[in-house]
Amino acid sequence: MTNSGIIHKGWFSEVCPMWEGIAVSLKVDELLYSKKSRFQQIDLYQTLSHGRMLVLDGIIQLTERDEFSYQEMMAHLPLFSHPHPENILVIGGGDGGVLREINRHKDVRFIDFCEIDEEVINVSKRFLPSIACGFDDPRVTVHINDGAAFVREHPGCYDVIIVDSSDPVGPGEVLFENQFYQDLKYALKPGGLIATQGESFFLHPDWVEKLMGITRSLFPIYAYANIIVPTYTGGHICVCMGSLGPKLRAPARSVPEVLQSQLKYYSSEVHRAAFVLPYFAEKMLKGKGI
């Protein structure tokens, strides 16, 4: 499967076989960076209306205008679901945005960060400093490694594991398999939980049903949350969550006032609301099809 971003008359259009027949287009002013790394094509654009935009293999990863919605929810949904998260693992997310949000939690003791493609980190630090500032925290240890291999080597280590993966093509494909989710479970401490990028129940229900089925089979508590991200195809993306103890659909702790003042999207109310799914998606979550 190949993906491509099409440039036509100053417009970038995301075209991917995973969501055939639909595309997101943004007007671009300038291509700031373009290079094929060992793993994928990396492009960085200056857009007319959405600031800078990171694109991997033709698929939009973020724009500066709306990146906060994904980053905040991927970090704060799992961290506020856990009563006392100290040891954190993040797999993927080389832009550093999820790290930026985790760093706001003062009780977190250390954060292992595993990214397979170091060039994504380098490009983000160069062109997206307000996002890549997540790497600056001394609690963060960066590991340039395959996430699936890394997690197998750390059983029983983490309170929370966040998988900020790309779509299930190229280097991210293995992160959507049953074995990987089993390894995530065994890398958790007692009472730990996971949060993974869960695709869109509108655009790829087959993948969502697969992830829901895997999570349901491994974790006693599981849930799916919805995030609005306008520049992702379909306008939204989901978070797949599995827990060995903590409940997920409501925060285990209140949001400190100082932290809340730093956020744009996440709140305790949004946490609860994110798990309210359309009826057809709720049926998928329970394994009843659509």
Binding residues: 40, 95, 115, 146-147, 164-167, 171
- Which of 66, 117, 159, 164 is an active site residue? 164
Written as tens digits, the pLDDT of the chain (290 aa) is 345 688 888 999 999 888 888 999 999 999 999 999 999 999 999 999 999 999 999 999 999 999 999 999 999 999 999 999 999 999 999 999 999 999 999 999 999 999 999 999 999 999 999 999 999 999 999 999 999 999 999 999 999 999 998 665 555 566 668 899 999 999 999 999 999 999 899 988 888 888 989 999 999 999 999 999 999 999 999 999 999 999 999 999 999 999 999 999 999 999 999 999 999 988 887 776 65
According to the model, what pLDDT value does residue 2 have?
A: 45
Residue in 58, 52, 57 with CA at minimum distance from that of residue 7: 58
Binding residues for S-methyl-5'-thioadenosine: 40, 115, 146-147, 171
Answer yes or no: are the C-beta atoms of 169 and 222 closer than 8 Å.
Answer: no
Q: Where are the beta strands (DSSP E) in the chain?
A: 4-8, 11-15, 24-36, 41-47, 52-56, 59-63, 87-92, 110-115, 140-144, 158-164, 188-197, 221-228, 236-243
- What predicted TM-score, i.e. pTM, was given to this entire model? 0.94
Any catalytic annotation for residue 183? no
Q: Cα–Cα distance between 162 and 42 in angstroms, integer?
A: 23
According to the model, what pLDDT value does residue 171 have?
A: 52
Encoded amino acid at 1, one letter:
M
List the domains of the chain with CATH numbers. Answer: 4-63 (2.30.140.10), 67-285 (3.40.50.150)
According to the model, what pLDDT value does residue 173 have?
A: 61
Neighbours of 37 (CB within 10 A): 16
Residue in 121, 64, 129 with CA at minimum distance from that of residue 92: 121
